[in-house]
Chains A and B, each alone.
Chain A
Amino acid sequence: MEAIRVENLTKKYKDVVAVDNLSLSVRKGELFSLLGVNGAGKTTTIKMLSCLTKSTSGDAFLNGKSICRDSAAVKSIIAVSPQETAVARGLSVGENLELMCGVHGFTKDKTNAKILELTELLGLKAIIKKKAGKLSGGWQRRLSIAMALISEPEILFLDEPTLGLDVLARSDLWDLIRSLKGKVTIILTTHYMEEAETLSDRIAIMKDGKLLICDTAEKIKKIAKTDNFEQAFINIVKGVIK
């Protein structure tokens, strides 16, 4: 079943075409990665799909709801963990989670239950009283994802979730993302080839706002005639493989 259907989605900023006639679909429960060099249009695509930016033309349907005509309904089923950690730095971990419960209108009981569930799932229990601003980058990312999961989203956008993390923190976060696979549809953008190859069910590679290829890592490597995914990416983006 389709979770996301993108139809000829385009975003123009004056003379620059950030996303050019993008069409693709993502299945329910799938972990779908968007890859591309800087300026490829990954973040703009996520911003349009999460109703943060209006598209210039085209449309996308998230669980059947149009981003152009029904943004309120779309917002009710999605959550975003932006490129930056996007946490309230002066609040504790628990207070950050309470904030998200509050803005979603949860009751006190539901808030307590949700915080308990997510702090256990993401291993945040020991640091629940610590100020978010004092946490390391890895823990802030965990908190960021926990905040995104508060609303029980059907579709979760993770925009470069492991950017700037050390190897161990990245590995921990991969385990966390793996544990979410199947429960929620995840759209992930990343610059790390290994991350996309390891975690994703399917990968879309973009360049200059255009979709170059969309398939599994194995098939992309086969098409690019290499066993190395990074090389496959380079071959495709450089146009060695048509």
Chain B
Amino acid sequence: MRMLTFASRNTKEILRDPLNLFFGLGFPLVLISLLSAIQANIPVELFEIQRLTPGITVFGLSFMTLFSATIIAKDRGSSLLQRLYTTPLTPTDFILGYTLPIIPIAIAQCVICYITAIVLGLSITVNILYAVVFIIPISILYIALGLLCGSVFTDKQVGGICGALLTNLSAWLSGVWFDLDLVGGTFKKISYALPFVRAVNMERAVLLGDFSGIFPHIWWVLGYAVALLILAVLLFLRQMKK
């Protein structure tokens, strides 16, 4: 109950910020529409709607990192967290309270992207539902990254690191905007050692109904999600004790 009160507050803070709504929901839609328009004029395999949409749904999650990191960093900066540390809220309440509200927002973002994609010509199949379900572990990965950044950086630093650096990294290294084979070499190796392209490939396989194709990407996604979550919890607890 205490945790739910805290989680509800976090949901309100995130959804009441018009910039959050624009970047979280509006920006991915603009990207799908724009790239689909480009695809209609100059056909590129990468931007075909069934390949593009899973990529955009994953890229859109980088804003979830920004949301979670910003709210934690702001709460630390304003001393609201300090106030709440003197209440009966437990460390588990804090971790869940910051994590859980963002999962439905991530799902909503994914659903809206698929609805737009359907309008733009994506075939309606049950695989879309599976793709939405598989977005959950990926969203936990991105939220954990936000929890980690919010526990370490100030809200201004978070804006630069999560808002600029991370969104760009997750874009370049995900294979959404260009085929990683075109660059190859070390760039490709680094990309495949990170979870972003793994998450995109997993979502693409799910949408195509190629469930054997989700391997080994799912292990990378789950591995990173668990590792980042553990690290985020440890860093959050460390700043809590400071």
Do chains A and B stick together as partners?
yes
B79 to A86, Cβ gap below 8 A?
Answer: yes
CB distance from B78 to the nearest CB of A (A): 5
Q: How many B residues are at the interface, by size bracket?
A: 20 to 34
Restricting to B79-94, which residues have a CB under 8 Å from any CB of A? 79-80, 82-89
The answer to whether A99 touches B13 (Cβ under 8 A) is: no
Asked if A50 and B1 sit within 8 Å, CB to CB, the answer is no
Contacts A89-B78, A91-B9, A99-B9 hold; do A52 and B86 have CB atoms under 8 A apart?
yes
A contact residues around B80 at 8 Å (CB): 86-88
- Check A25 for interface membership: any CB of B closer than 8 A: no
User: Are A102 and B88 in contact, CB atoms less than 8 angstroms apart?
Assistant: no
Option from A53, A75, A91 in Cβ contact (under 8 Å) with B12: A91
Whole-angstrom distance between the alpha carbons of A127 and B74 in the complex? 23
Chain B: which residue is nearest A98 at the CB level? Answer: B5
Looking at A28-36, A76-84, A165-173, A227-235, the stretch in contact with chain B turns out to be: A76-84
Residue contact A95 to B12, C-beta cutoff 8 Å: yes
Inter-subunit contact B88/A76 (CB<8 Å): yes
A16 to chain B, nearest CB (A): 15
Q: Evaluate contact between A103 and B86: CB separation under 8 angstroms.
A: no
- Closest chain B residue to A159, Cβ basis: B79
| B86 in contact with A102 (CB, 8 Å) | no
A91 engages B13 (CB within 8 Å): yes
A86 adjacent to B78 (CB under 8 Å) = yes
The answer for the CA separation of A214 and B203 in the assembled complex, in Å, is 67
- Tell me the A38-58 residues at the B interface (CB within 8 Å): 50-54
Are A80 and B5 within 8 A (Cβ)? no
Interface of chain B residues 98 through 157 with chain A (CB within 8 A): none
Given A85-B78, A86-B80, A102-B2, A151:B87 Cβ within 8 A: yes
> Considering residues A53, A82, A102, which has the most beta carbons from chain B within 10 angstroms of its beta carbon?
A102
Instruction: Name the B residues within 8 Å of A147 (CB-CB).
Output: 83
Determine the distance from Cα of A80 to Cα of B82 in the docked complex, in whole angstroms: 9
B192 within 8 A of A: no
Residue of B6, B12, B242 touching A102 (CB-CB under 8 A): B6
Chain A: minimal CB distance from B18 (Å): 11
- Encode A126-155 as 1/0 by CB contact (under 8 A) with B: 000000000000000000000110010000
Which B residues are in CB contact (< 8 Å) with A100?
87
Q: Which residues from B are CB-within-8-Å of A103?
A: 2, 5-6, 84, 87-89
Give Cα distance in the complex from A87 to B75, angstroms. 9
Flag whether A105 is at the interface (Cβ < 8 A): yes
Q: What sequence of 0s and 1s flags, for each residue 1-36 of chain B, a beta carbon within 8 Å of any chain A beta carbon?
A: 110111011001100110000000000000000000
B78, A105: Cβ atoms under 8 Å? Answer: no
A104 at the B interface (CB under 8 A): yes
Residue of B nearest to A81 (CB): B83
Residue in A closest to B10 when the chains form the complex, CB atoms: A88
Contact of B85 among A52, A84, A85 (CB under 8 A): A52
Q: How far is the CB of B145 from chain A (nearest CB, A)?
A: 22
CA distance A91 to B79 in the complex (A): 15
Instruction: Decide if A82 touches B79 in the complex (CB within 8 Å).
Output: yes
CB of A151 to closest CB in B, whole Å: 7
Q: Judging by beta carbons under 8 Å apart, are B82 and A82 in contact?
A: yes
Complex contact B1–A102 (CB within 8 A):
yes
Check: A90 CB closer than 8 A to any chain B CB.
Answer: yes
B13 smallest CB distance to A (angstroms): 4
Known: A84-B78, A99-B5, A99-B6. Is A90-B13 also a contact (CB below 8 A)? yes
Question: A-contacting residues of B (Cβ < 8 Å)?
Answer: 1-2, 4-6, 8-9, 12-13, 16-17, 74, 77-80, 82-89, 241-242
Given contacts A103-B5, A104-B88, 20 further A-B contacts (CB under 8 A): A52-B82, A53-B242, A75-B86, A75-B88, A76-B88, A84-B77, A86-B82, A88-B13, A88-B80, A102-B2, A102-B4, A102-B8, A103-B2, A103-B6, A103-B84, A103-B89, A104-B2, A105-B2, A105-B88, A147-B83
Interchain residue pairs A-B with the least CB separation, the first 4: A102-B5, A82-B79, A84-B79, A86-B79
